């Protein structure tokens, strides 16, 4: 999906902030997009799968110890994300939203859909989420995440 996003940004000549032409900003976007596969995506998806999908398929709830371990793995990468990528900037690549922010927030919504409010005790992360939502539009954001946020209704 990352390859498709980059293709679309280039093909349709999207506004520069999505995939910046400035090499330093683009490097930040590329760095995040490479890092997130085994970190945010890997740990967020693991929490979602073990907390929602596995019990749904097996009919057995996840043990509290297993859930605690999976949650701690996610917490470690969230801390890395805040310290390494967000730092004190409004967005990952600087002052404007980019594909990196979009991809990051989409991946973080899986654990939220599983009932883990990872923004609750992380004000920096919560403020970043608010900025990303505002940049794409709150209604579009809600429409895009409606399925994952209502997954427990299955």
* Domain positions in the chain: 1-8+23-153
> Domain 1-8+23-153's class?
mainly alpha
Q: Does pLDDT of 61 surpass 90?
A: no
Dump pLDDT digits (tens) for 97-154.
999 999 999 999 999 999 999 999 999 999 999 999 999 999 999 999 999 888 876 5
Task: Compute the distance between CA of residue 141 and CA of residue 128 in angstroms, rounded to an integer.
Answer: 14
Q: Is the pTM of this model over 0.95?
A: no
**Rounded to an integer, what distance in angstroms lies between the CA atom of residue 51 and that of residue 71?**
10
Chain centroid offset of residue 103 CA: 6
């Amino acid at each position: 999906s990352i390859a498709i996003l980059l293709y679309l940004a280039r093909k349709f000549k999207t506004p520069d902030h999505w995939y910046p032409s400035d090499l330093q900003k683009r490097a930040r976007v590329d760095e995040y997009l490479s890092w997130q596969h085994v970190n945010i995506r890997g740990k967020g998806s693991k929490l979602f799968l073990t907390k929602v999908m596995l019990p749904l398929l097996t009919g057995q709830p996840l043990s509290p110890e297993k859930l605690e371990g999976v949650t701690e793995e996610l917490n470690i990468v969230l801390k890395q994300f805040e310290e390494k990528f967000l730092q004190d900037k409004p967005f990952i690549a600087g002052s404007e939203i980019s594909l990196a922010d979009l991809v990051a927030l989409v991946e973080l919504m899986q654990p939220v859909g599983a009932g883990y409010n990872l923004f609750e005790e992380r004000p920096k992360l919560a403020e970043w989420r608010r900025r990303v939502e505002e940049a794409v539009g709150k209604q579009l954001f809600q429409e895009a995440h409606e399925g994952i946020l209502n997954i427990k209704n299955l």
